Structure 1
Amino acid sequence: MKISEVMTRDVQTILPEQSIQEAASLMQRIDCGALLVHEGDRLVGMLTDRDIAIRAVAQGLSPDTPVRQVMSSGIRYCFEDEDVQHVAQNMADIQVRRLPVLNREKRLIGVVSLGNIASIHSQRASDTVLRGVAKAH
Protein backbone atom coordinates (compact mmCIF):
# COMPACT_ATOMS: atom_id res chain seq x y z
CA MET A 1 0.00 0.00 0.00
CA LYS A 2 1.27 3.47 -0.90
CA ILE A 3 1.40 6.50 1.40
CA SER A 4 -0.91 8.41 -0.96
CA GLU A 5 -3.66 5.95 0.00
CA VAL A 6 -3.50 6.72 3.75
CA MET A 7 -2.21 10.30 4.06
CA THR A 8 -4.24 13.36 4.97
CA ARG A 9 -4.59 15.64 1.96
CA ASP A 10 -6.20 18.74 3.47
CA VAL A 11 -3.15 20.23 5.16
CA GLN A 12 -3.13 23.67 6.79
CA THR A 13 0.08 25.62 6.21
CA ILE A 14 1.48 28.93 7.32
CA LEU A 15 3.95 31.42 5.85
CA PRO A 16 7.31 32.07 7.53
CA GLU A 17 6.53 35.80 7.80
CA GLN A 18 3.34 35.22 9.78
CA SER A 19 3.50 35.72 13.55
CA ILE A 20 3.69 32.95 16.11
CA GLN A 21 0.45 34.34 17.55
CA GLU A 22 -1.27 33.75 14.19
CA ALA A 23 0.23 30.26 14.13
CA ALA A 24 -0.97 29.47 17.66
CA SER A 25 -4.43 30.78 16.83
CA LEU A 26 -4.59 28.57 13.72
CA MET A 27 -3.40 25.55 15.74
CA GLN A 28 -6.19 26.20 18.23
CA ARG A 29 -8.82 26.64 15.51
CA ILE A 30 -7.97 23.41 13.69
CA ASP A 31 -6.98 21.51 16.86
CA CYS A 32 -3.48 20.47 15.85
CA GLY A 33 -0.03 20.75 17.35
CA ALA A 34 2.02 21.30 14.19
CA LEU A 35 1.87 23.40 11.06
CA LEU A 36 3.88 23.05 7.88
CA VAL A 37 5.58 26.26 6.77
CA HIS A 38 5.71 27.09 3.07
CA GLU A 39 7.12 29.76 0.79
CA GLY A 40 5.42 29.75 -2.58
CA ASP A 41 4.89 26.10 -3.36
CA ARG A 42 7.90 24.86 -1.37
CA LEU A 43 7.99 23.37 2.10
CA VAL A 44 10.54 25.30 4.19
CA GLY A 45 9.86 24.16 7.73
CA MET A 46 7.57 22.92 10.44
CA LEU A 47 6.30 24.75 13.50
CA THR A 48 5.04 22.82 16.52
CA ASP A 49 3.32 23.96 19.67
CA ARG A 50 6.51 22.87 21.43
CA ASP A 51 8.59 25.18 19.19
CA ILE A 52 6.38 28.08 20.26
CA ALA A 53 6.65 27.15 23.94
CA ILE A 54 10.40 26.44 24.06
CA ARG A 55 11.87 28.70 21.37
CA ALA A 56 9.54 31.68 21.80
CA VAL A 57 7.61 31.88 25.07
CA ALA A 58 10.41 30.48 27.26
CA GLN A 59 12.84 32.94 25.63
CA GLY A 60 10.52 35.91 26.18
CA LEU A 61 9.87 36.55 22.49
CA SER A 62 6.95 38.69 21.40
CA PRO A 63 3.75 37.19 19.96
CA ASP A 64 4.64 39.19 16.82
CA THR A 65 7.80 37.09 16.32
CA PRO A 66 7.85 35.65 12.78
CA VAL A 67 7.33 31.91 12.46
CA ARG A 68 10.66 31.72 10.57
CA GLN A 69 12.53 32.61 13.78
CA VAL A 70 11.29 29.62 15.79
CA MET A 71 10.34 26.96 13.21
CA SER A 72 12.36 23.83 12.55
CA SER A 73 13.95 23.75 9.12
CA GLY A 74 15.61 20.80 7.40
CA ILE A 75 12.34 18.92 7.47
CA ARG A 76 12.21 15.20 6.85
CA TYR A 77 9.56 14.04 4.39
CA CYS A 78 8.40 11.11 2.33
CA PHE A 79 7.06 10.73 -1.19
CA GLU A 80 3.47 9.86 -2.07
CA ASP A 81 4.49 6.71 -3.96
CA GLU A 82 6.50 5.16 -1.11
CA ASP A 83 5.32 1.98 0.59
CA VAL A 84 3.59 2.43 3.97
CA GLN A 85 5.86 -0.11 5.71
CA HIS A 86 8.98 1.67 4.40
CA VAL A 87 7.70 5.06 5.63
CA ALA A 88 6.68 3.53 8.98
CA GLN A 89 10.22 2.21 9.41
CA ASN A 90 11.66 5.62 8.48
CA MET A 91 9.36 7.38 10.99
CA ALA A 92 10.48 4.93 13.68
CA ASP A 93 14.16 5.39 12.83
CA ILE A 94 13.98 9.18 13.01
CA GLN A 95 11.45 9.08 15.87
CA VAL A 96 8.75 11.34 14.47
CA ARG A 97 4.96 11.22 14.75
CA ARG A 98 4.22 12.84 11.39
CA LEU A 99 5.89 13.43 8.04
CA PRO A 100 5.02 15.79 5.21
CA VAL A 101 4.20 13.98 1.97
CA LEU A 102 5.61 15.38 -1.27
CA ASN A 103 5.15 14.46 -4.90
CA ARG A 104 8.25 13.73 -6.98
CA GLU A 105 8.44 17.43 -7.97
CA LYS A 106 8.86 18.06 -4.20
CA ARG A 107 5.54 19.86 -3.88
CA LEU A 108 3.59 19.38 -0.64
CA ILE A 109 0.49 17.26 -1.15
CA GLY A 110 -0.29 15.95 2.32
CA VAL A 111 0.92 14.68 5.66
CA VAL A 112 1.09 11.19 7.14
CA SER A 113 0.78 10.61 10.88
CA LEU A 114 0.78 7.75 13.36
CA GLY A 115 -3.01 7.85 13.17
CA ASN A 116 -3.00 7.44 9.40
CA ILE A 117 -0.76 4.40 9.65
CA ALA A 118 -2.78 2.90 12.51
CA SER A 119 -5.98 3.36 10.47
CA ILE A 120 -4.90 0.87 7.81
CA HIS A 121 -4.92 -1.95 10.35
CA SER A 122 -1.43 -3.10 9.44
CA GLN A 123 -0.12 -4.37 12.76
CA ARG A 124 3.40 -4.56 11.37
CA ALA A 125 3.48 -0.91 10.21
CA SER A 126 1.80 0.37 13.39
CA ASP A 127 4.15 -1.59 15.67
CA THR A 128 7.17 -0.32 13.72
CA VAL A 129 6.25 3.34 14.15
CA LEU A 130 5.16 3.02 17.76
CA ARG A 131 8.42 1.33 18.74
CA GLY A 132 10.38 4.20 17.20
CA VAL A 133 8.30 6.92 18.83
CA ALA A 134 8.45 5.16 22.20
CA LYS A 135 12.28 5.33 22.02
CA ALA A 136 12.06 9.10 21.75
CA HIS A 137 10.18 9.54 25.02
Structure 2
Amino acid sequence: MKISDCMSSDVRIASPAWSIRDAARAMREIDSGFLPVGENDRLVGAVTDRDIVIRAVAEDKGLETKVRDVMSDEIIYCYDDEDLDAVATRMSDRKIRRLPVLNHDKRLVGVVSLGDLSQSPEDDGRRSAAALGSISTPGGEHVQ
Protein backbone atom coordinates (compact mmCIF):
# COMPACT_ATOMS: atom_id res chain seq x y z
CA MET A 1 0.00 0.00 0.00
CA LYS A 2 1.21 3.51 -0.83
CA ILE A 3 1.19 6.50 1.49
CA SER A 4 -1.24 8.30 -0.82
CA ASP A 5 -3.81 5.66 0.13
CA CYS A 6 -3.82 6.57 3.81
CA MET A 7 -2.51 10.14 4.16
CA SER A 8 -4.63 13.17 5.03
CA SER A 9 -4.79 15.44 2.02
CA ASP A 10 -6.71 18.30 3.65
CA VAL A 11 -3.73 20.14 5.16
CA ARG A 12 -3.48 23.60 6.71
CA ILE A 13 -0.16 25.29 5.92
CA ALA A 14 1.36 27.89 8.24
CA SER A 15 3.40 30.84 7.07
CA PRO A 16 6.78 31.46 8.68
CA ALA A 17 5.56 35.04 9.25
CA TRP A 18 2.61 33.91 11.40
CA SER A 19 2.82 34.48 15.12
CA ILE A 20 2.96 31.42 17.34
CA ARG A 21 -0.48 32.53 18.58
CA ASP A 22 -1.80 32.21 15.00
CA ALA A 23 -0.20 28.79 14.66
CA ALA A 24 -1.66 27.60 17.96
CA ARG A 25 -5.11 28.80 16.94
CA ALA A 26 -4.83 27.01 13.60
CA MET A 27 -3.77 23.84 15.44
CA ARG A 28 -6.82 24.17 17.70
CA GLU A 29 -9.13 24.64 14.70
CA ILE A 30 -7.91 21.51 12.96
CA ASP A 31 -7.34 19.54 16.19
CA SER A 32 -3.71 18.79 15.41
CA GLY A 33 -0.38 19.60 17.02
CA PHE A 34 1.43 19.86 13.68
CA LEU A 35 1.50 22.34 10.82
CA PRO A 36 3.72 22.23 7.76
CA VAL A 37 5.25 25.65 7.09
CA GLY A 38 5.26 26.91 3.52
CA GLU A 39 6.58 29.93 1.71
CA ASN A 40 6.50 30.76 -2.00
CA ASP A 41 4.77 27.47 -2.78
CA ARG A 42 7.51 25.42 -1.07
CA LEU A 43 7.72 23.52 2.18
CA VAL A 44 10.26 25.32 4.39
CA GLY A 45 9.65 23.69 7.75
CA ALA A 46 7.21 22.33 10.27
CA VAL A 47 5.94 23.63 13.58
CA THR A 48 4.48 21.55 16.38
CA ASP A 49 2.73 22.33 19.62
CA ARG A 50 5.91 21.08 21.30
CA ASP A 51 8.01 23.60 19.32
CA ILE A 52 5.79 26.39 20.61
CA VAL A 53 6.08 25.22 24.20
CA ILE A 54 9.78 24.30 24.27
CA ARG A 55 11.24 26.91 21.93
CA ALA A 56 8.98 29.86 22.79
CA VAL A 57 6.99 29.60 26.02
CA ALA A 58 9.79 27.94 28.02
CA GLU A 59 12.19 30.61 26.75
CA ASP A 60 9.84 33.46 27.78
CA LYS A 61 9.21 34.49 24.18
CA GLY A 62 5.97 36.37 23.54
CA LEU A 63 2.90 35.21 21.66
CA GLU A 64 3.88 37.40 18.71
CA THR A 65 7.08 35.38 18.20
CA LYS A 66 7.21 34.32 14.56
CA VAL A 67 6.77 30.72 13.51
CA ARG A 68 10.12 30.95 11.67
CA ASP A 69 11.82 31.46 15.06
CA VAL A 70 10.53 28.21 16.57
CA MET A 71 9.89 25.88 13.62
CA SER A 72 12.02 22.93 12.65
CA ASP A 73 13.65 23.69 9.32
CA GLU A 74 15.19 20.25 8.94
CA ILE A 75 12.29 18.78 6.99
CA ILE A 76 11.88 15.05 7.06
CA TYR A 77 9.25 14.01 4.54
CA CYS A 78 8.10 11.18 2.34
CA TYR A 79 6.75 10.90 -1.18
CA ASP A 80 3.15 10.06 -1.93
CA ASP A 81 4.11 6.89 -3.82
CA GLU A 82 6.30 5.41 -1.06
CA ASP A 83 5.37 2.14 0.60
CA LEU A 84 3.81 2.24 4.08
CA ASP A 85 6.48 -0.01 5.58
CA ALA A 86 9.31 2.25 4.42
CA VAL A 87 7.60 5.35 5.80
CA ALA A 88 6.72 3.66 9.10
CA THR A 89 10.36 2.65 9.46
CA ARG A 90 11.54 6.21 8.76
CA MET A 91 9.08 7.60 11.30
CA SER A 92 10.23 5.04 13.84
CA ASP A 93 13.94 5.61 13.21
CA ARG A 94 13.62 9.40 13.39
CA LYS A 95 11.04 9.41 16.25
CA ILE A 96 8.50 11.37 14.24
CA ARG A 97 4.71 11.10 14.66
CA ARG A 98 3.77 13.05 11.51
CA LEU A 99 5.40 13.50 8.12
CA PRO A 100 4.67 15.92 5.31
CA VAL A 101 3.92 14.06 2.08
CA LEU A 102 5.29 15.50 -1.16
CA ASN A 103 4.82 14.63 -4.79
CA HIS A 104 7.88 14.29 -6.99
CA ASP A 105 7.65 17.99 -7.92
CA LYS A 106 8.33 18.57 -4.18
CA ARG A 107 4.86 20.06 -3.64
CA LEU A 108 3.04 19.30 -0.41
CA VAL A 109 0.12 16.96 -1.09
CA GLY A 110 -0.66 15.72 2.41
CA VAL A 111 0.44 14.66 5.86
CA VAL A 112 0.71 11.14 7.20
CA SER A 113 0.47 10.47 10.90
CA LEU A 114 0.98 7.47 13.09
CA GLY A 115 -2.80 7.37 13.41
CA ASP A 116 -3.15 7.23 9.62
CA LEU A 117 -0.80 4.24 9.53
CA SER A 118 -2.80 2.46 12.23
CA GLN A 119 -6.03 2.97 10.27
CA SER A 120 -4.57 1.50 7.10
CA PRO A 121 -6.36 -1.69 6.00
CA GLU A 122 -2.95 -3.36 5.65
CA ASP A 123 -1.90 -2.60 9.23
CA ASP A 124 -2.61 -5.54 11.48
CA GLY A 125 -1.48 -3.51 14.46
CA ARG A 126 2.14 -4.59 14.36
CA ARG A 127 3.50 -1.88 12.04
CA SER A 128 1.93 1.05 13.89
CA ALA A 129 2.60 -0.48 17.33
CA ALA A 130 6.27 -0.99 16.48
CA ALA A 131 6.58 2.56 15.17
CA LEU A 132 4.85 4.01 18.24
CA GLY A 133 7.04 1.98 20.56
CA SER A 134 10.20 3.28 18.95
CA ILE A 135 8.95 6.85 18.69
CA SER A 136 7.95 6.86 22.36
CA THR A 137 11.37 5.70 23.56
CA PRO A 138 13.15 8.69 25.16
CA GLY A 139 16.28 10.05 23.51
CA GLY A 140 17.38 11.66 20.32
CA GLU A 141 17.04 15.20 19.08
CA HIS A 142 13.59 16.64 18.44
CA VAL A 143 13.15 17.74 14.85
CA GLN A 144 9.44 17.83 14.07
With the shorter chain as reference, the TM-score category is over 0.9
Q: Corresponding residue for 2:12?
A: 12
C-alpha distance in 2, partners of 1:116/1:136? Answer: 23
Unaligned runs of 5+ in 1: none
Q: Corresponding residue for 2:38?
A: 38
Unaligned runs of 5+ in 2: 140-144
Question: Across the two proteins, how many residue pairs are aligned to each other?
Answer: 137
C-alpha distance in 2, partners of 1:36/1:136? Answer: 24
Alignment CA distance shift 1:12-1:70 (3 Å)? same
Q: Corresponding residue for 1:126?
A: 128
The CA RMSD measured in Å over matched residues stands at 1.3
State the 1:130 CA deviation. 2.0
| Contact kept in structure 1, 2:34 and 2:98, CA below 8 Å | no
C-alpha distance in 2, partners of 1:66/1:126? Answer: 34
| Contact kept in structure 2, 1:34 and 1:49, CA below 8 Å | yes
SS in 2 for 1:4: helix
**Residue type matched to 2:43 in 1?**
L
C-alpha distance in 2, partners of 1:61/1:84? Answer: 38
* TM-score, scaled to structure 1: 0.94
State the 1:134 CA deviation. 2.7
State the 1:89 CA deviation. 1.0
Higher fraction of helix: 1
**Residue type matched to 2:34 in 1?**
A
Percent identity (aligned): 50
* TM-score, scaled to structure 2: 0.89
User: Which deviations, in whole Å up to 9, do the C-alpha atoms of 1:2-26 show, x marking residues without a partner?
Assistant: 0000000001111001111111111
